[in-house]
Amino acid sequence: MVWLDQSVFCCTSCLRPGIIMRMPDERFLFSYFFSINMGMKKNDKGICFIYNPSAGRGRTGQYLDRIRSKAEEYWENPVFRVTQKESDIEEFARSAAQDFGLVVGCGGDGTMNLVINGIAGSNAHLGVLPLGNGNDFANALGLPRDPFKALELIYKGKRGPLDLIRCKGDTETWCVNTLGAGLDGWANYYASEFTKVRGQAVYVLGILKAVYYFRGSNMRLFIDEEKIEKELLMVTVCNGPEEGGGFKVSPGASNSDGLIDLLTIEKMSVARILWYLPKFLFQPGKKLKGVKRVRCKKVTIESDTPLAVHCDGQGLGTEIETLSAEIHPGMLQVIVP
């Protein structure tokens, strides 16, 4: 490119000799770059909070008035849709995605799963206000545990890409953090029985009960182009590094790398399971016999024995025999630190 004067230049790489172009004036440049910048940002169609007051074993409800008040300081006319029952969450989110540029899920991992299933495929962006029992997805994003600091971060509005996992087979859903089949599916199932316990202890109690009722199954795994058949205790499809309030099932997993981190644990004795359990909390990188992690883009699970399966802490059923999971890179934009 050769500059001829302040307003004219000649692009020697793309123009014929002698052809010159006049440089756009300042007003055009400002308009051009402003439009590019706005195109990179979400359309400002407003913000809607999908608020689950029963999340976190009911403690979320006590924050509602304070969060609403703080939100009104940040945004003009923020909308709150407070759910009365779990089935409201996905429908409220789906409706909000049509009318708002930013949809914020207020609750735990189960709430976020339902919100994401409501907005996946829309133009709405996602915000996360961690108010649940475990908040593993929020932790994977690096969000602050304090909901008011998280709210401030949402206001700042920095966005990043978020992969989702599409699950099909005996059930169908979107997954944002982890999907567990086998032991962790049963642990999630039994954890719901301990209604007076909170936090990580709920999942521990669920595991302790699960190990005595589920001893593994013969499974066939189709991992991208590879087929594996063996007796397995559990298979966990990971988009994030942890589940169950801090159990690091796949350290290093990223929800924006376009890959599934797949954890498999072979059938083993109850004693060994209990020996391994704290290592997923305190020594997550330690190599353990019978525990394997691989990365892939798609996996299909076929089990001879019906399995309990959870998705982001949401129980999908206890009679699942066939399920596939495939990564969909950058399906959503999410607020990040």
The pLDDT tens digits for 40-85 are 333 457 999 999 987 766 677 788 999 999 999 999 999 999 998 8
The pLDDT tens digits for 97-139 are 999 999 999 999 999 999 999 999 999 999 999 998 889 999 9
The CA distances from residue 198 to 105, 121, 212, 244, in Å, are 20, 33, 22, 11
Instruction: Classify domain 168-330 at the CATH topology level.
Output: Tumour Suppressor Smad4 (2.60.200)
Rg (CA), the chain: 24
Instruction: Give the helix ranges, DSSP H, for 3-127.
Output: 26-40, 64-74, 87-99, 109-119
pTM of the model: 0.83
Q: Where are the domains of the chain?
A: 2-40, 47-157, 168-330
pLDDT for residue 44: 57
Residues 6+ apart with CB under 8 A from 166: 174, 175, 325, 326, 328
Q: Is the model's pLDDT at 23 over the cut of 70?
A: no
Axis-axis angle for helices 200-210, 183-191 (nearest 10): 120
Most confident segment among 193-202, 279-288, 312-321: 312-321
pLDDT for residue 9: 36
| Beta-ladder partners of 170 | none
pLDDT for residue 282: 83
Rounded percentage of the chain residues whose pLDDT exceeds 90? 70
**What secondary structure does DSSP assign to 82-109, as a single string?**
E-SSTHHHHHHHHHHHHH-SEEEEEESH
pLDDT for residue 192: 83
Take residue 8 and report the two structure tokens written for it. Answer: 């004219």
What's the CA gap between 183 and 177, in Å, rounded? 17
Share the mean pLDDT of the chain. Answer: 86
Instruction: Classify domain 47-157 at the CATH topology level.
Output: Rossmann fold (3.40.50)
Q: Is the model's pLDDT at 7 over the cut of 60?
A: no
Take residue 144 and report the two structure tokens written for it. Answer: 């602050």
